[in-house]
Amino acid sequence: MRWRQAKWTNLILRLIGLALLCLAVLIGRRLFAVPNAHAKERPLVYLLAAAGMASACGGAVLTVIGRHLLDPVPLSSRWRVHAVPRKSRRQ
Q: Is residue 80 part of a domain?
A: no
As to burial, measured by CB atoms within 10 angstroms (0-12 exposed, 13-18 middle, 19+ buried), residue 20 is buried
Number of domains in the chain: 1
Q: Residue 63 sits in which domain range?
A: 3-71
Q: Is residue 76 part of a domain?
A: no
* DSSP letter, residue 73: -
Q: Is residue 84 part of a domain?
A: no
Q: Which pLDDT score is estimated for 39?
A: 66
Give residue-wise pLDDT tens across range 24-66.
999 999 888 877 767 667 888 889 999 999 999 999 999 999 8
Residue 79 dihedral angles phi and psi, to the nearest 5°: -100, 0
What integer best gives the mean pLDDT of the chain? Answer: 83
8 A C-beta contact, residue 45 and residue 39: yes
Q: Distances from the Cα of 71 to the Cαs of 10, 29, 45, 49, 68, in angstroms? A: 12, 35, 36, 31, 5
